[in-house]
Amino acid sequence: MKRILGMLSLLLIVVLGLIACSTGTGEAMLEDTAWILESYGEPGNLQAVIADTEITAEFASAEETVKGSAGCNSYFGSYELKGSQLSIPGPIGATEMYCMEPEGVMDQEQEYLAVLQLAESYEIDGDELQINCGSQVLIFKSD
Protein backbone atom coordinates (compact mmCIF):
# COMPACT_ATOMS: atom_id res chain seq x y z
CA MET A 1 0.00 0.00 0.00
CA LYS A 2 2.84 2.39 0.86
CA ARG A 3 4.39 1.65 -2.51
CA ILE A 4 1.19 2.57 -4.38
CA LEU A 5 0.81 5.79 -2.38
CA GLY A 6 4.44 6.66 -3.10
CA MET A 7 3.97 6.10 -6.84
CA LEU A 8 0.77 8.17 -6.86
CA SER A 9 2.53 10.98 -5.00
CA LEU A 10 5.39 10.92 -7.49
CA LEU A 11 2.95 10.93 -10.41
CA LEU A 12 1.09 13.89 -8.89
CA ILE A 13 4.35 15.85 -8.49
CA VAL A 14 5.32 15.17 -12.13
CA VAL A 15 1.89 16.23 -13.44
CA LEU A 16 1.86 19.42 -11.36
CA GLY A 17 5.39 20.23 -12.55
CA LEU A 18 4.35 19.81 -16.19
CA ILE A 19 1.33 22.04 -15.69
CA ALA A 20 3.45 24.72 -14.03
CA CYS A 21 6.01 24.62 -16.85
CA SER A 22 3.42 24.85 -19.59
CA THR A 23 1.43 27.74 -18.15
CA GLY A 24 3.99 29.61 -16.09
CA THR A 25 5.50 31.82 -18.79
CA GLY A 26 2.57 34.20 -19.26
CA GLU A 27 3.58 34.43 -22.92
CA ALA A 28 1.03 33.97 -25.68
CA MET A 29 1.60 31.39 -28.38
CA LEU A 30 1.54 32.26 -32.08
CA GLU A 31 -0.95 29.56 -32.92
CA ASP A 32 -4.52 29.44 -31.65
CA THR A 33 -4.35 32.95 -30.19
CA ALA A 34 -6.45 35.90 -31.38
CA TRP A 35 -4.10 38.74 -32.41
CA ILE A 36 -5.08 42.38 -33.05
CA LEU A 37 -2.84 44.60 -35.19
CA GLU A 38 -1.60 47.68 -33.34
CA SER A 39 0.88 49.12 -35.89
CA TYR A 40 2.75 48.28 -39.06
CA GLY A 41 5.42 49.55 -41.42
CA GLU A 42 9.14 50.15 -41.29
CA PRO A 43 10.72 49.89 -37.82
CA GLY A 44 11.19 53.40 -36.46
CA ASN A 45 8.39 54.70 -38.70
CA LEU A 46 5.39 52.60 -37.68
CA GLN A 47 1.84 53.57 -38.61
CA ALA A 48 -1.03 53.03 -36.19
CA VAL A 49 -4.11 51.20 -37.41
CA ILE A 50 -6.83 53.64 -38.51
CA ALA A 51 -9.26 54.43 -35.69
CA ASP A 52 -12.53 52.47 -35.78
CA THR A 53 -10.95 49.62 -37.77
CA GLU A 54 -9.75 46.30 -36.47
CA ILE A 55 -7.25 44.05 -38.21
CA THR A 56 -6.92 40.59 -36.72
CA ALA A 57 -4.98 37.39 -37.28
CA GLU A 58 -5.42 33.89 -35.96
CA PHE A 59 -3.01 31.12 -36.87
CA ALA A 60 -5.18 28.00 -36.56
CA SER A 61 -2.84 25.07 -35.91
CA ALA A 62 -5.32 22.31 -36.76
CA GLU A 63 -5.86 23.62 -40.31
CA GLU A 64 -2.51 25.43 -40.70
CA THR A 65 -4.41 28.48 -41.88
CA VAL A 66 -4.17 32.14 -40.99
CA LYS A 67 -7.47 34.00 -40.98
CA GLY A 68 -8.97 37.19 -39.70
CA SER A 69 -10.31 40.61 -40.56
CA ALA A 70 -8.23 42.92 -42.74
CA GLY A 71 -10.23 45.96 -41.62
CA CYS A 72 -13.08 45.61 -44.08
CA ASN A 73 -12.86 42.12 -45.55
CA SER A 74 -12.23 38.72 -44.02
CA TYR A 75 -9.11 36.95 -45.27
CA PHE A 76 -7.65 33.45 -45.17
CA GLY A 77 -4.54 31.61 -46.34
CA SER A 78 -2.10 28.90 -45.42
CA TYR A 79 1.06 29.30 -43.36
CA GLU A 80 4.18 27.28 -42.58
CA LEU A 81 6.22 27.31 -39.36
CA LYS A 82 9.77 26.11 -38.78
CA GLY A 83 10.87 27.28 -35.34
CA SER A 84 10.55 31.06 -35.42
CA GLN A 85 10.49 31.10 -39.22
CA LEU A 86 7.05 31.94 -40.62
CA SER A 87 5.97 31.94 -44.22
CA ILE A 88 2.64 32.57 -45.87
CA PRO A 89 3.03 31.05 -49.32
CA GLY A 90 -0.14 32.67 -50.64
CA PRO A 91 -2.15 33.61 -52.31
CA ILE A 92 -4.22 35.06 -49.50
CA GLY A 93 -7.93 34.90 -50.26
CA ALA A 94 -10.37 37.56 -49.12
CA THR A 95 -14.00 38.52 -49.39
CA GLU A 96 -14.68 41.36 -51.82
CA MET A 97 -16.64 44.02 -49.98
CA TYR A 98 -15.84 47.69 -50.43
CA CYS A 99 -15.79 49.91 -47.36
CA MET A 100 -15.88 53.68 -47.76
CA GLU A 101 -15.47 54.55 -44.08
CA PRO A 102 -13.35 55.27 -42.28
CA GLU A 103 -11.33 57.03 -44.94
CA GLY A 104 -8.28 55.03 -46.04
CA VAL A 105 -9.50 51.66 -44.76
CA MET A 106 -9.20 49.99 -48.19
CA ASP A 107 -5.63 51.24 -48.69
CA GLN A 108 -4.71 50.06 -45.20
CA GLU A 109 -6.23 46.65 -45.92
CA GLN A 110 -4.32 46.21 -49.19
CA GLU A 111 -1.06 47.25 -47.53
CA TYR A 112 -1.60 44.89 -44.59
CA LEU A 113 -2.31 41.89 -46.81
CA ALA A 114 0.69 42.65 -49.06
CA VAL A 115 3.04 42.94 -46.06
CA LEU A 116 1.61 39.81 -44.38
CA GLN A 117 2.46 37.73 -47.46
CA LEU A 118 6.12 38.75 -47.01
CA ALA A 119 6.31 37.15 -43.54
CA GLU A 120 9.74 35.67 -42.77
CA SER A 121 9.85 35.23 -38.99
CA TYR A 122 8.12 36.17 -35.78
CA GLU A 123 8.92 37.05 -32.17
CA ILE A 124 6.64 37.02 -29.14
CA ASP A 125 7.30 39.06 -26.03
CA GLY A 126 4.56 38.64 -23.43
CA ASP A 127 1.32 39.55 -25.22
CA GLU A 128 3.03 41.25 -28.20
CA LEU A 129 3.67 39.54 -31.53
CA GLN A 130 6.04 41.01 -34.10
CA ILE A 131 6.00 39.50 -37.58
CA ASN A 132 9.08 40.43 -39.59
CA CYS A 133 8.25 40.92 -43.26
CA GLY A 134 11.35 41.97 -45.18
CA SER A 135 11.98 45.62 -44.32
CA GLN A 136 8.60 45.97 -42.59
CA VAL A 137 7.02 44.63 -39.42
CA LEU A 138 3.52 43.92 -38.15
CA ILE A 139 2.95 44.50 -34.43
CA PHE A 140 0.03 42.69 -32.79
CA LYS A 141 -1.33 42.36 -29.24
CA SER A 142 -3.10 39.24 -28.05
CA ASP A 143 -6.83 39.59 -27.55
Length of the chain: 143
pLDDT digits (tens, 9 = 90+) for 72-95: 999 999 999 999 999 999 899 999
Q: Domains in the chain, ordered, with CATH?
A: 28-142 (2.40.128.270)
pTM of the model: 0.80
More confident residue, 68 or 4: 68
Using the predicted structure, report yes or no on whether residue 43 has a pLDDT greater than 90. yes
Mean pLDDT value across residues 107-120:
98
Report whether 90 contacts 117 (CB < 8 A).
Answer: yes
Rounded to whole angstroms, the Cα distance separating 137 from 42 reads 6
Residue 73 DSSP class: S
More confident residue, 22 or 108: 108
Q: How many CB atoms lie within 10 A of CB 80?
A: 11
Burial of 90: CB neighbours in 10 Å, binned 0-12, 13-18, 19+:
middle
Q: Which residues contact 38 (CB under 8 A, 6 or more apart)?
A: 48, 49, 139, 140, 141
Using the predicted structure, report yes or no on whether residue 130 has a pLDDT greater than 70. yes
Burial of 117: CB neighbours in 10 Å, binned 0-12, 13-18, 19+:
middle
Name the β-bridge partners of 138: 40, 131
Read off the amino acid at residue 87: S
